[in-house]
Each structure stands twice: as structure tokens, then as C-alpha cells.
Amino acid sequence: MTAQPSATDDESAAEPDSALVTARRQLERAATHVDVDPGVVERLKHPTRVQQVSVPLEREDGSVDVFTGYRAQHDDVRGPYKGGLRYHPEVNAEECTGLSMWMTWKCAVMDLPFGGGKGGIAVDPKSLTEDETERLTRRFAEELRDAVGPTKDVAAPDMGTDAQTMAWFMDAYSMQQGETIPGVVTGKPPVIGGSYGREEAPGRSTAIAAREAVRYYGREISDTTIAVQGFGSVGANAARLLEEWGATIVAVSDVNGGVYDPDGIDVSAIPSHDEEPEAVTRFATELDAGDDVSRLSNSELLELDVDVLVPAAVGNVITADNADAIAADIVVEGANGPTTFAADTILEERGVHVIPDILANAGGVTVSYFEWLQDINRRQWSLERVTEELEDHMLEAWEDVRTEVDDKGLTWRDAAYVVALSRIAEAKETRGLWP
């Protein structure tokens, strides 16, 4: 057992912790609730390796920029490293390492035969033309050629990347290897071995987690108000599905801010980030004076008095500075790491239930697993089958976590960690990798 870290840091006086620091503190806290060898916990605080590469790009005006790319590989005791590639200006080694740790727990909570990885390039994808994005991605795949592979480390989309990025990555890797290897990435377009339903999967699982959480606390999703921050792969798909299930989506946002209507926004009328970046902003600027919809900032959205808040954009948006002002009863983490460690403690004390990222948004990696199986077998599943199997996997994981919540009186995050840690520790013990 490991000592429980103090959660009383004056985070408001400083920058929020990095993803790595938060992930380590969450691990230490969860380890106090499960009988795991402290040596295993110590090992899990560190990645196996983090690769840093330079990715040169000739711009369309003939100048050359050199971007920095990373791939963090945290743990592979349960299977190949698995996780997304993010294109965002704030990508760095520490962030990728923290995110790769969360992938290890996420795959274990879902009982998938994968470990955790994460990577990306420190670049603003909106500053690149499509041709530049393609060349940057192909060069990144070339630099990572020895690190990745269908049985070693399987990449996928994350913020700022999409199915087309995965297609370029897979093509570049396949050209290096001299044969077509679809299983090096997941989240590809279905025409080249991608899975139907992968694009909407993290949003679907986030919606399922919201539905089950609302039910657990005695309500139905059709009887709830919901605010969603971020309108990308996770946020837009979650909002659309929740609306389909009868929930009232009162607010959505993109990077510039959001829109609010207490009677509900027609979210199907707004394109997702993938279809049109900053579309919520365009929607907001086209509002008529007579519309009931008003504009609000991203911080105002987080503090709306709703039943369910879904932060589905970036990390560290619920911090010690605003945790007291969160008025939702339930927070469902669509994004990775939206809640800092200090904020988590404040929300717990205030009785706000947080359904953690490693359970809520795990639909993405779960359908990635389905895609990986389809690639190995060279046999595509129907959308209906993917949707059904994702629902089953989510409900099984939900039950595993709920049992820990009920039996041990844990928070949903600690319970999810307990499920994950137990599986990882058992695998390490069985394989004899430790001590």
C-alpha cells in the first residue's frame, strides 16, 4: 500500500499540475484502496520509454520548420501499447507520458489486451495546409517506424488528428515495410480497414456513461439538462446522441466560446470540428436578435446549473479555481484529464459525482480494438455489430466499476483505478515481470 498524497495544494496560486503529475497522484491515491505490490505501483509511475523526434516540414513558401514529435509508451504487460496521436501546440513529453498512463488504465478498465501509449506533434494543426499536414504526418510515421507496429504500438486519432491523418500514417508505414499493414493504426477510414463507428465511439461511450450515471442516481437521461464543452469527435458525437436519447443540450462550445439556450440547442444543426472547425463560433455569429440562444464563454459554460456537465475539449479546465462554482450534479469526463487532482477533491467533498475519462471516453479505444481485430482477420464488421458490442463492453466495464463504488464506497475515479490496477498487477505477477 502507498501513502495517500495530500490534496491540499494551493493549486490556485500556481499553474495546474501537468497530466503526468495528476496521473501519478491519482495512481498513488487509488493504490491505497487496493492490495498491490508497492513495487508495481512505483514501476507504473514511470513510462517504459518516451521517444522524441524532429519532424522537418518544407512549408509552401519554401521555408523549413522543424517540429518536435513524441511517442510515450507507458506499459505493455497486457498487450501492445495503444493510444492516440495529438496535434496541438502544447504537446510535450510530460503531457504525452501522463496521457499514456491514462491509456494503460483505460485499456485495463475495458479489459482490452493493450497497454498505454500516446504521442503527437507540438504544432497548431490550423496553421498547416492539408498538403503540409500530409507531409508532416508521413515524416512523423517515418521517424517512428521502429517504435510502432501492429503488435508493438498501435496509434489512433486524438485532438487535432482524424481518420485521414491515420490513413497517411498507415500508408507511409506500409511503404517503409513493403506491404500493406492496416493494423499499425486504428481510426482509419473504413475503405482501408477502418472500423465503422470508430469516429463516433468516444462520444457514444461518453453518452452511455452519462446515461448510466444519471440512472444510478435515480433519474432518466430524457429528463436531464446537459452542457458540453468542445464540439469535436468526442463532444459533438456525445451531444448528438444524448439529444437523440431525449436529453436537453442547453450549451455547447468550441475553442472561442459557446452558445446557451435553456430550452435546448438543436445540436444536429451545428457541424462538428471534423466537419468544420470553429462551427459553434460561426453558429453564434449568425444568431438573430430575436433568437432565444445567447453566447457564453467556455468558463461560463462549465459553471452552468445543469444536471450533467461534459467537458470534452482539453485538460485542466476544472481546477481549484472553479471547482466550487461547478453547479452540475454529475461531471462526465469526455476529454482526457479535464479535472485537476485538487479540483477532484473539492468536487468529492461537495458531492459532485465525477465519471472519469478512463471509463467515460473509453469507447474510442474499445472500437479501436474492434478495428485491430478486423484488420488481423481481414473481415469488416457492420456498424450494427460495432454499436452492439460497444454497448456490451461499456455496460460490463460500468458494472465492474460500479461494484467497487458500492462495495468500497469509492469515488468513480478511484473505483475505475482499482479495477484497472488489479488487472495490471495480476498480469505482472502472472508473467513474472516483477520483482
Ligand X SMILES: O=C(O)CCC(=O)C(=O)O
Ligand Y SMILES: NC(=O)C1=CN([C@@H]2O[C@H](COP(=O)(O)OP(=O)(O)OC[C@H]3O[C@@H](n4cnc5c(N)ncnc54)[C@H](OP(=O)(O)O)[C@@H]3O)[C@@H](O)[C@H]2O)C=CC1
Catalytic residue, chosen from 82, 118, 188, 428, is 118
> Do you find a cis peptide bond into 202, omega within 30 degrees of 0?
no
Q: Residue 156: which region, alpha, beta or left (left: phi > 0; alpha: psi -120 to 50)? A: beta
Q: Select from ligand Y, ligand X, none the partner in contact with residue 83, using the beta carbon and a kind-dependent cut-off of 5 to 8 Å.
A: ligand X
DSSP E strands in 306-395: the ranges are 308-311, 330-332, 353-355
Whole-angstrom CA distances from 53 to 10, 20, 361, 395 are: 35, 20, 28, 39
**Positions 21 through 60 that interact with ligand Y (CB under 6 A):** none
Q: Select from ligand Y, ligand X, none the partner in contact with residue 160, using the beta carbon and a kind-dependent cut-off of 5 to 8 Å.
A: ligand Y
CA dist 27 and 418 (Å) reads 9
The number of helix segments (H) and strand segments (E) in the chain equals: 14, 12
- Judged by CB under 6 A, the residue of 67, 114, 231, 417 near ligand Y is 231
Which cell numbers in the block locate residue 49? 520509454
Least separation, in Å, of the C-beta of 234 and ligand X? 9
- Quick check: 158 binds ligand X (CB under 6 A)? yes
Q: Which is nearer to ligand Y, 229 or 248 (CB)?
A: 229
- Quick check: 156 binds ligand X (CB under 6 A)? yes
**Positions 288 through 317 that interact with ligand Y (CB under 6 A):** 298, 312-314
Least separation, in Å, of the C-beta of 132 and ligand X? 23
Instruction: Find all residues with CB under 8 Å of 408, minimum gap 6, and list them.
Output: 33, 415, 418
CA dist 411 and 404 (Å) reads 9
- Judged by CB under 6 A, the residue of 73, 298, 336, 411 near ligand X is 336
Q: Select from ligand Y, ligand X, none the partner in contact with residue 159, using the beta carbon and a kind-dependent cut-off of 5 to 8 Å.
A: ligand Y
- Quick check: 82 binds ligand X (CB under 6 A)? yes
Q: Select from ligand Y, ligand X, none the partner in contact with residue 147, using the beta carbon and a kind-dependent cut-off of 5 to 8 Å.
A: none
Q: Which is nearer to ligand X, 156 or 390 (CB)?
A: 156
- Quick check: 229 binds ligand Y (CB under 6 A)? yes
- Quick check: 364 binds ligand Y (CB under 6 A)? yes
- Quick check: 195 binds ligand X (CB under 6 A)? no
Between 240 and 279, how does the x/- string for binding to ligand Y read (CB under 6 A)?
Answer: -------------xxx-----------------xx--xx-
- How long a stretch of residues is the chain? 435
Which cell numbers in the block locate residue 189? 477510414
CA dist 142 and 147 (Å) reads 10
Which cell numbers in the block locate residue 368? 479501436
Q: Which is nearer to ligand Y, 40 or 165 (CB)?
A: 165
Least separation, in Å, of the C-beta of 159 and ligand X? 9
Amino acid letter, 433: L
Which cell numbers in the block locate residue 171? 500508408
Q: For strands 81-88 and 49-58, give the pairing.
A: unpaired
Strand partners, 115: 81
Look up 408 and say whether it is catalytic. Answer: no
Least separation, in Å, of the C-beta of 274 and ligand Y? 6
Could you identify the residue written with the cell 455569429? 285
Q: Select from ligand Y, ligand X, none the partner in contact with residue 277, using the beta carbon and a kind-dependent cut-off of 5 to 8 Å.
A: ligand Y
Residues carrying an active site annotation: 118
- Where do contacts with ligand X occur on this chain (CB under 6 A)? 82-84, 106, 156, 158, 186-187, 336, 361, 364-365, 368
